[in-house]
Structure 1
Amino acid sequence: MLRLKINRAPEWVDLARGVRVQVSPVTSSVMVAARSDIAALPEGLDPGVVSVALTKAIARRVVIDWDGVGDEDENPIGVSEAAVDALIDLHLMCEAFNARVLWPYLELQREKNASSPSPNGISAGAEATAQTAFRSARSAQES
C-alpha cells in the first residue's frame, strides 16, 4: 500500500553529534529544482561528486532551521546556502542527511515504481528475453 504523508509541515530531524535540522518535505518539485541546479555541472564528473552536489542542492531548498551548528568559535550560526553547503561537506552529516531526509522520499518513489509497465509506455514493443519453457511444472502433491 502506498503511504501518503498528508501533514506536510516542517519537521525536526536529528542528524549526528547533536546537530538537528528542521526540514520542509522533500517533494517532486524540490527534486526537479535540485536537478536543475546541478544540470550545469561539467560532463564526466565522478558520480560521488555529482551525488554530493545534488544532496547540497536539496538541502539548500529544504533546511529551514537548525540546532547545534556554530562557527569556529562555537557561536551559533543561522541557516544560509554557504552554511548548508559546509554542513553537507562533512561526510558524517552528508550521510546522515541522506539517510534521514532523502531516503524516505526515495523509498516512496521506489514503491511507486513497483507497478507493472504500461502497455503503451516506454516498454511497448520490447522484445521478450526469457526463453520458452519446454514443459509445464508438475503440480504439488496432495497430502
Structure 2
Amino acid sequence: MLRLDILSQPRWLDLGHGVRLFVEPLTTAVMLAARSDPSILAATADVKVIDAWTAADDDVTQSETGPSNDDLARIVAKAVARIVVHDWEGVGDAEGKPLSVTPDGIDALLEIWPIFEAFQTRYIAGAFILDAEKNV
C-alpha cells in the first residue's frame, strides 16, 4: 500500500558531524527542476553524444561512455541540494566563522564524503524507496 505521509513542510536534516540542513521536501517538482540544472544537462548531453558514437563505432570503450554512476550521483545530489537547502548549521569557513548558504558552498559541502553519503542516504534515497518497493 502506498502511504501518503510525505512531509509538506521544510525540515531540519541532520547529516552528522554537527551539520544540519534546512531542506524542503523532495518532490516531483524538485526533481524536474534538478533535471534542468546545467550540470545535469551537460552530463546527460555527453552521454547522448557518446551513445551516438557507440552506435556507429563498436570500438568505443567503457571509459568513453560518459560519466560514471558515481559521478552522476554526485552531480544530481548537488543539483537537488542547490534547490532544496535553504539554511544550514555547523558549516563555517577556515576560521570557524559561520557561512551563509550559497550554491558554491553547497557544492563544496557535498564534496566532503561523509556529508555526501549522509545526504544521499537520509534525503535522496528516501525518495527512491517507493520505486524500490514498487510503489510507483
Q: TM-score range with shorter-chain normalisation?
A: 0.7 to 0.9
Is 1:52 equivalent to 2:74 in the alignment?
Answer: yes
Q: Give the alignment partner of residue 41 of structure 2, picking from 26, 39, 42.
A: 39
SS at match of 1:98: helix
More helix by share: 2
C-alpha contact 2:12 2:21 (8 A) present in aligned 1:
yes
User: Rg: which structure is higher?
Assistant: 1
Percent identity of the aligned residues?
42
Deviation at 1:2, TM superposition (A): 1.0
Q: Give the alignment partner of residue 80 of structure 1, picking from 94, 102, 117.
A: 102
SS at match of 2:95: coil
Summarize deviations over 1:28-76 as a string: whole Å, max 9, x none.
Answer: 1111221222022233122211110000000111111111000111000
Give the paired residue count.
Answer: 114
Deviation at 1:6, TM superposition (A): 5.2
Rate the CA distance shift 1:6–1:102 in 2: closer, same or farther, 3 A: closer
TM-score normalised by structure 1 residue count: 0.73
Partner of 2:62: none
Partner of 2:60: none
Can you give the 5+ residue segments of structure 2 that lack an aligned partner in the other structure? 48-65
CA distance in 2, matches of 1:47, 1:62: 22
Partner of 2:61: none
Deviates more, 1:39-48 or 1:58-67: 39-48
C-alpha contact 2:2 2:135 (8 A) present in aligned 1:
no
Deviation at 1:114, TM superposition (A): 4.5
Summarize deviations over 1:91-111 as a string: whole Å, max 9, x none.
Answer: 111100011111111112334
CA distance in 2, matches of 1:36, 1:92: 27
* Paired residues for 1:1-143 under 5 Å: 1-5=1-5, 7-37=7-37, 38-41=40-43, 42-43=46-47, 44-111=66-133, 113-114=134-135
Deviation at 1:85, TM superposition (A): 0.4
Rate the CA distance shift 1:4–1:46 in 2: closer, same or farther, 3 A: same
TM-score normalised by structure 2 residue count: 0.77
**Matching residue's letter, 1:79:** V
Larger relative contact order (Cα-Cα within 8 Å, sequence gap ≥ 6) = 2
SS at match of 2:36: helix
CA distance in 2, matches of 1:58, 1:7: 17
